[in-house]
Chains A and B, each alone.
Chain A
Amino acid sequence: MTTIPVQYYLVVAAALFCIGLAISITKRHFIGMLLGIELMLNAVNINLVAFGRHDPERLSGQLFALFVIVVAAAEVTVALAIILRVYGRFKTVDPDKVNELKQ
């Protein structure tokens, strides 16, 4: 069984991370920014899994990736609740237009 070198995974994860970064900078929508953040978290998970491949006894990398997934789920729920509140108050989802704490 031929195995893929760890550098290949790292390059793919780096590309995915940078795409996520560009998405979260360029999108003019709160949920678009969230999509970018999710892609970045996934890219980090690929790195952790790729290195965790060489630790078959303890699997620290995969466990860390599992906790990252859990934290991402918690983050998305709270972020969506905040976005819905902001939308209800400001009637917009453009981050440039939401610049006041109290309207």
Chain B
Amino acid sequence: MEAIIFYVFSALTLAAGLFILFSRNLIYGAFALFVAFLGVAALYVLAGADFLAVSQIMIYVGGILVLLIFGIMLTQKKEKSDDSTRHNRVEVAITRKIWGFVAGAGLFGLLVKVILSSDFRMAGEEMSTKSTIKTIGVELMTSHLLPFEIAAILLLVALIGAAYLALNRNPTA
């Protein structure tokens, strides 16, 4: 049963990724990314990371994806124009696609070869079915306190920096 659910969500995630790869409209790609994020969240749940799955849905789907869709819509422009003196644009940039597929397929072959030939010996025992929230909270406040604070400062710096960068410095333009 668990294996079937794993296969279904893996197929969903990979299909969404392939849809982004082959779709020409970025808005559709962003919505496919939504499906991919939900599939990854389901894989987290199957791996026993319940808190991380909820954070994934809240941060990625609720925050990052909305930002990306805003960005796509703010930078959208019409491809065609009525200006007859405009130069015709001939799309011959096929090498980029070839290199993309070569890099992706080559790296995938290499990674699968390494993974299938490896022999992992797990030291710890398998996770039980209890919730991970308490452990994550205790660990964040004890042994991972410094990275936690650094992440807080990083988020503050990113917030101020993004607001400053996106500020319209020339309102007349």
Mark A residues whose CB is within 8 Å of B.
1-4, 6-12, 14-23, 25-32, 34-36, 38-39, 42, 45-46, 49-50, 52-59, 62-63, 65-67, 69-78, 80-85, 87, 91, 93, 96
Known: A1-B129, A77-B67, A84-B74. A35 touches B30 (CB 8 A): yes
Are A56 and B67 within 8 A (Cβ)?
no
Residues of A within 8 A of B112 (CB): 11, 14
Are B111 and A57 within 8 A (Cβ)?
no
* Pairs across A and B, CB under 8 Å, 10 listed: A3-B126, A7-B115, A7-B116, A11-B112, A25-B99, A26-B96, A30-B75, A39-B20, A42-B40, A85-B166
Known: A35-B33, A77-B158. A25 touches B100 (CB 8 A): yes
Task: Please tell me the number of chain B residues within 8 Å of chain A, measured between CB atoms.
Answer: 84
Residues of B within 8 A of A4 (CB): 2-3, 6, 46
Task: Give 10 nearest A-B pairs by CB, closest first.
Answer: A22-B104, A74-B158, A25-B100, A26-B100, A81-B165, A19-B17, A14-B111, A18-B108, A81-B162, A81-B166
Mark B residues whose CB is within 8 Å of A.
1-3, 6, 10, 13-14, 17-18, 20-21, 26, 29-30, 33, 36-37, 40, 43-44, 46-49, 51-52, 55-56, 59-60, 63-64, 67-68, 70-72, 74-75, 77, 93, 96-97, 99-101, 103-105, 107-108, 111-112, 115-116, 118, 120, 122-129, 132, 135-136, 139-140, 143-144, 147, 151, 154-155, 157-159, 161-163, 165-166
Are B68 and A31 within 8 A (Cβ)?
yes
Are A32 and B26 within 8 A (Cβ)?
yes
Chain B residues touching A, majority SS: helix
Closest chain A residue to B5 by CB distance? Answer: A4
Are B139 and A63 within 8 A (Cβ)?
yes
The smallest C-beta distance from B91 to any residue of chain A, in angstroms, reads 9
Known: A23-B17, A59-B132, A62-B51. A69 touches B56 (CB 8 A): yes
Q: How many A-B residue contacts, CB cutoff 8 Å?
A: 231
Known: A35-B30, A63-B140. A42 touches B36 (CB 8 A): yes
A14 to B55, CA, bound (A): 22
The smallest C-beta distance from B103 to any residue of chain A, in angstroms, reads 6
